[in-house]
Amino acid sequence: MKKIFKVMLGVVMMLLMVNVSKADDKELIGAGATFPYPLYSKMFDVYYKEHGIKVNYSAIGSGGGIRQLKEKTVDFGGTDAFLSDQQIKEMGADIVHIPVCMGAVVLAYNMPGIKTLYLTPDIVADMFLGKIKKWNDPKIQKINPKEKLPDTNIVTVHRSDGSGTTFIFTDYLSKISNEWQSKVGKGTSVNWPIGLGGKGNSGVAGLIKNVPYSIGYVELIYALSNKIPFATLQNKSGVFIEPSLTTTSKAGDVKLPDDMRVSITDTDAKDGYSISGFTWIIVYKKQNYGNRSYERAKTLVNLLWWMVHQGQKYAEELHYAPLSKQALMKAENLIKSITYNGKQIMN
């Protein structure tokens, strides 16, 4: 009996000792989108090395980021789906959307031997609605004369978790297909008519890579780093555009609203890629909630300022489009609007 007590005492002591480590306004917690995760992962690693601040970001999907910010269990959320007015009301306080970069949602596919694939908006919608079932459907074959498409069923892959990437994709589909708009709609989590579900951009990429004759939507970097081919998509102006850093930037070259809550899918830009989107960090505008300290709010704001300035240089090599001058200006204003006890934090 004594022995057990001694062991327990030892464990308790250890835990207590371990716990006396400093209160950490030197550590920030974030959660959300998997879309920018490779970039954030790199950014936060560099930030830790340069500034000694740990940023613990968990890629649980944009839905998760929004929810955890609502529950105030995180300092910031990452999302590629901006909040609607209704959602902001449900948050209970004003939310600031800081854009960090833009990315492209590509249609990655797995068809051995097929090197390029051209798709039109209608075909994409019909594939995910289950109306076009085979790869060698005449509609697809017609715009891909050079490739002999296989006579197999199409397996579509989508997100099983609440995702901003899904939001961007379904936002696009709702714009170009009335049937999609009424049957499925847009959101971070939708009722997919068919297909397999993968967790996170990485889960979807993993599934596409391993399931023959599948097609799914992922952020560009996930397709590139896993060497998965992706489709060239016809845009609003009728031009077939290959998703890339450049075409994504072009898609974002439109007039941006001050609060940066904007969708740039189905862009009017003539050589822009149609399924592009911003990704944001969302925080509460008034940082003095709960028992947040001023130091913690300041650490957060400094991180945000760094992300839209020095952090931007890591975007390109990971194939994310850095913020344009216009977007950067809006971002700076938004960061400056964050207050603590009524006073602006960033000066």
Partner 1 sequence: MGKNQQQQKICYVNTGPGQKPGVSKFFKKDFLFKFILFFSGFLVFLLVLSIFVSLILNSVPSLKEFGLKFFVSKTWDPVFEQFGALPFITGTLLTSFLAILITIPFSLAISIYLAEFTKHGFYPGFLKNSIDLLAGVPSVVYGFFGIFVIVPVIRYLQIKLHIEPYGVGIFTASIILSIMIIPFSSSLGREIIEMVPAEIKEAAYSLGSTRFEVIKYVILPYARSGITAGILLALGRAIGETMAVTMVIGNSNMMPESIFSPSNTMASVIANEFTEAVTSIHLSSLIEIGVVLFLVTTMISITGKIIIKKFAVHQ
Partner 2 sequence: MENIRKRILKDRLFTLIVIVLSFTACIPLLAILGFIIKNGISSINLDFFIHLPKPVGEHGGGISNAIIGTFIVVGIAFVIATPLSLLAGIYLAENKKNFFSDVLRVGIDILASIPSIVIGIIAYLWVVKPMKSFSALSGGIALAIIMLPVVIKSTEETLSMVPDSLREASLALGVPYFRTILKVIVPAGLSGIITGILIAISRIAGETAPLLFTAFGNPFMNLNVTKPVNTIPLVVFNYSTSPYEQWHKIAWAAALVLIAIVFVFNFLARIISKKWKTKF
Q: Which residues bind partner 1 (CB under 8 A)?
A: 31, 60-61, 63-64, 66-68, 70, 87, 90, 153, 155, 160-162, 184-199, 203, 207, 210-213
- Where are the strands (E) in 54-210, listed by range? 54-59, 76-79, 95-110, 118-119, 155-159, 196-198
- By beta-carbon proximity to partner 1, the closer residue of 204 and 321 is 204
- By beta-carbon proximity to partner 1, the closer residue of 189 and 288 is 189
Compute the half-sphere exposure of residue 105: CA atoms within 13 Å on the CB side of its CA. 33
CB 306 within 8 A of CB 49: no
Shortest Å distance, C-beta 130 to partner 1? 10
Partner from partner 2, partner 1, none contacting 56, C-beta within 5 to 8 A by type: partner 2
Distance CA 251, CA 270 (A): 8
Partner from partner 2, partner 1, none contacting 1, C-beta within 5 to 8 A by type: partner 2
- By beta-carbon proximity to partner 1, the closer residue of 48 and 213 is 213
- By beta-carbon proximity to partner 2, the closer residue of 15 and 138 is 15
| Per-residue buried b or exposed e for 208-242, using 16+ beta carbons within 10 Å of the residue's own CB | bbeeebbbbbbbbbbbbeeebbbbbbbbbeeeebe
Place of tokens 């994409």: 124
Shortest Å distance, C-beta 67 to partner 1? 5
- By beta-carbon proximity to partner 2, the closer residue of 48 and 294 is 48
Of 158, 190, 157, 164, the residue nearest 59 (C-alpha): 164
Partner from partner 2, partner 1, none contacting 205, C-beta within 5 to 8 A by type: partner 2
3-state secondary structure of 178: helix
Distance CA 191, CA 8 (A): 50
Shortest Å distance, C-beta 280 to partner 2? 20
- In sequence order, which residues have a C-beta less than 8 Å from that of residue 336 and are 6 or more positions away? 344, 346
- By beta-carbon proximity to partner 1, the closer residue of 198 and 277 is 198
Shortest Å distance, C-beta 48 to partner 1? 24
User: Where along the sequence are the contacts to partner 2 (CB under 8 A)?
Assistant: 1, 3-4, 8, 11-12, 14-15, 18-19, 21, 24, 27, 29, 37-38, 41-42, 44-45, 48, 54, 56-58, 71-73, 199-200, 202-203, 205-206, 209, 222, 225-226, 290
Distance CA 287, CA 25 (A): 14
